[in-house]
Amino acid sequence: MDTPALEIRQLVAGYPALLGLRRTQVLRGLDLSLARGAVLGLAGPNGSGKSTLLRLVAGVERASSGELRVLGGSVADAAVRRRVGYLPEDSPFPPELSARAMLELCGALARMPRELAQRESARLLALVGLEHASRKRLGSFSRGMLRRFGLAQSWLHAPELLLLDEPTAGLDAQGFEVLGTLLGEARARGTAVVIASHLPGDFTDHASEMAVILGGRIALRGGVRELLAGRSLLELYRTPPVSAHAG
Amino acid sequence: MILRGLVRLAFVRALRPAPCLVGAGLLAWVLATSSISGSARLAAGEEFAPLWEHGALRNAGWSLAALFGLSWIALQALGTLSGWRRRDVDWLAPRAANPLALLLSTWLGLLLALGLLAFASAVAVELSAGRGLASWSEGPRAIRGEGGWLEFGSTRGEVLDCGALPAGSHLRLRFAFASGGPDARVLAVLRDPAGGAELARREQSVGTGGDLELACPAVPARAELRLACTEPGLRVYHDASAARVWLPESSERAASLALLARLMLDAASLFAFALAVSGWFSPSSGLFALLALALVALGSDTGVWPLSGLGGALAVLREGRVPAWPSARECAGSAAVSALSLALAAASLVRWRRER
């Protein structure tokens, strides 16, 4: 438990532009560390690289350069990736499968024993309020239902690091409650959590600290109440408080 | 190693309702409108005409099922890896599953989807073809060696190299390149190797090239076959490589089962190959490679190893007869190609992950 959940140094990442002739840099030498059991809110304007950072940590994409240690290991290591839970931004789950079948598939992919995967799938579907829709195809789900399903799949294998990309986008009041319950479980298990969001409420309700990405780097980092004291996120992006520090 | 959920996902994605409905509609139309042509009825003769009538229907139905089913699901196979890299990457990549397990499961799902389509086609074809008549199934090659010219006035001897034959078997001999007149006549006599008693005899015209079919009683192993050209001044070539034994079959319906087996065997190789080619190159490169292979598979009578000669089997179906079941060699070839292709496809996934 001594190694941090996340250690990032000088991370550079981007995507190809102009028919692959050049790369647009999204992250430009980002540094970040996260202790085990901590809950970090990740803020930043659109295109600042929040989702890219989470995709890199989840192992969906690779960085151009820099160091990325996840749970003390390399994200290229399959065994490390299996200890990470990830809620993608767009809920890109196969519309052809039922919620139950998809959760069981996720369990099998994460090498969970079949019975455990079935038991956890049923428990989590009940927890996120989708028990009644467990046999319905994901293609018939509303956006909010898909977000709740996404939360369930990210938590299925009891990861040690949980990455949530805009978890409340499209959620209703019950969904907010579901997120709270799930994060309560995560805290109780000592899971480190990163929540990328545009809603200050997501940080004040769930995070213990907060980081703001501006210009491809962590521009601000500090306590949630300290950073958001009387300020909107937009004000925070434009005029960073003097007391906050980068890193 | 097998991920049941992924098998199910590949199965469900391959069997989307719209193409299945189009395929079912086309099959219904083909089965409703197909019938034996006048020239085919003439070629069949009175004795075999009922079998050929059913055969025309089976051939049309299975040709459509094979072409549509194979090509549709091969397209799904071609798009699988690019789909994983694009639309499925966010939920698939973080799980860090074994690439070979992913591919094996998907390949099985695709095969199951084709199996279901082919089985449904078989039921539809057999329901349309009506009651199953007694027929013959394609047996082994009858004679080793190349064959040779039959000159008028001389006799050519051959030995059957296919073991003992049950009563009711047929021996089909092929003649070609007749010269010296418009219509060669051939006499074929089958004799018991012990004692020389005559077992069967037939004399018929083979035109400038054609088949002679000899109905046989129970035939012992290594029976002697005497061939002669009975038209003065004519000669005709006996193509021994095409000499086939046809074994009695209680029902022509076995044809659909044999074709189903061949279709699945070819599908196993083709789908695995599609996964591999699209993994290393692109779905469109894979499409062209598959089209070339499909043309070879459907166009060849004898089959191009490890493909099982689907074209030849469909031709057998046309006569209301039963194609041979895939041989052990064909099964082994298909298994080897499938295993190698899946391993290559898995390697392409590993490379892709490393290069991202």
DSSP secondary-structure letter at B282? -
Residue written as token pair 């099985």: B108
Question: Which of A45, A48, A52 shows the shortest CA–CA distance to A238?
Answer: A45
Rounded percentage of chain B residues whose pLDDT exceeds 70: 97
Average pLDDT, chain B: 90
Chain B hits for A61, Cβ within 8 Å: 356
**Are residues A55 and B96, on separate chains, in Cβ contact within 8 Å?**
no
DSSP code per residue over B88-148:
SHHHHGGGT--HHHHHHHHHHHHHHHHHHHHHHHHHHHHHHH-SPPPEEEEEEE---S-EE
User: Would you call the peptide bond into B306 cis, given omega within 30 degrees of 0 as the criterion?
Assistant: yes
CB B154 within 8 A of CB B186: no
pLDDT of residue A232: 86
- Decide if pLDDT at A242 tops 60: no
pLDDT at A246 over 60: no
Whether the per-residue pLDDT at B261 is higher than 80: the answer is yes
B292: closest CA of chain A, how far (Å): 31
| pLDDT tens per residue across span B5-46 | 999 999 999 999 999 999 999 999 999 998 888 888 888 788
CB contact under 8 A, B5 and A101: yes
What CATH architecture applies to the domain B136-249? Sandwich (2.60)
Q: Give dist(CA B197, CA B166) in Å, integer.
A: 17
Measured distance CA(A104)–CA(A110) in Å, rounded: 10
Least confident of A158-167, A223-232, B237-246, B293-302: B293-302
> Using a CB-CB distance cutoff of 8 angstroms, which residues of chain A are in contact with residue B9?
94, 96-97, 105
Query: Is the confidence at residue B333, as pLDDT, over 80?
Result: yes
In this predicted structure, the answer to whether residue A244 has a pLDDT above a threshold of 60 is no
Return the pLDDT at B306.
67
pLDDT of B159 over the 80 cut = yes
B278, B80 contact by CB (below 8 A): yes
Which pTM does this prediction carry?
0.88
What whole-number distance in Å separates Cα of residue A110 and Cα of residue A84? 10
Answer whether residue B153 shows pLDDT above 90: no
Angle of CA points B332, B82, B297, to nearest 5°: 35
Amino acid at B283: P
Query: With bands split at pLDDT 50, 70 and 90, how would you rate the model's confidence at A1?
Result: low
pLDDT confidence bin for B199, thresholds 50/70/90: very high
Looking at per-residue confidence, does A17 or B5 come out higher? Answer: B5
The pLDDT, as a whole number, for residue B301 is: 61
pLDDT at residue B43, rounded to an integer: 80
Q: Report CB contact under 8 Å: B91, A93.
A: yes
For CA atoms B75, B76, B77, B83, the dihedral sign is positive
pLDDT digits (tens, 9 = 90+) for A32-53: 999 999 999 999 999 899 999 9
| Res. A192 pLDDT band, cuts 50 70 90 | very high
pLDDT value for A9: 96
Q: Are B247 and B187 in contact (CB under 8 A)?
A: no
pLDDT tens profile B127-137: 998 778 899 99
User: Mean pLDDT over all residues of chain A?
Assistant: 91
Residue B160 predicted with pLDDT over 90: yes
Tokens describing residue B279 = 């993994």
CA distance B105 to A169: 34
| A92 neighbourhood in chain B, CB within 8 Å | 87-88, 90-91
| Mean pLDDT (whole number) for B202-209 | 88
Q: What is the per-residue DSSP string for A160-222?
A: SEEEEESTTTT--HHHHHHHHHHHHHHHHHT-EEEEE-S-HHHHHHH-SEEEEEETTEEEEEE
* Chain A hits for B93, Cβ within 8 Å: 58-60, 81
What residue of A is the nearest CA neighbor of B4?
A: A105
How large is the average pLDDT for residues A121-139? Answer: 95
Burial B148-187 (b: 16+ CB within 10 A, else e): eebebeeebebebbbeebeeebbbbbbbbebeeeeebbbb
Q: What is the pLDDT of residues B56-93, one digit of tens each?
A: 999 999 999 999 999 999 999 999 999 998 888 889 88
Q: Is residue B299 pLDDT above 80, yes or no?
A: no
**In the structure, what pLDDT confidence band is assigned to residue A91 with cuts at 50, 70 and 90?**
confident
Mean pLDDT of B253-257: 93
How do residues A133-182 score in pLDDT, each as one tens digit? 999 999 999 999 999 999 999 999 999 999 999 999 988 888 899 999 99
| Contact call for B96 and A104, based on CB within 8 A | no
Residue carrying structure tokens 């298994």: B335
Beta-carbon-side half-sphere exposure of residue A244 (alpha carbons within 13 Å): 24
Q: What is the mean pLDDT of residues B202-207?
A: 89
Q: What is the model's pLDDT at position B179?
A: 81
Domains of chain A: 36-61+76-237 (3.40.50.300)
Residue A243 predicted with pLDDT over 60: no
pLDDT at B118 over 60: yes
Number of inter-chain CB pairs under 8 A, A vs B? 69
What ipTM describes this predicted complex? 0.86
Domain ranges (residues) in chain B: 4-134+252-355, 136-249
Mind telling me how many Å the CA of B27 is from chain A's nearest CA?
26
With 70 as the cut, is the pLDDT of residue B303 above it?
no
**What local confidence, expressed as pLDDT, does residue A245 receive?**
56
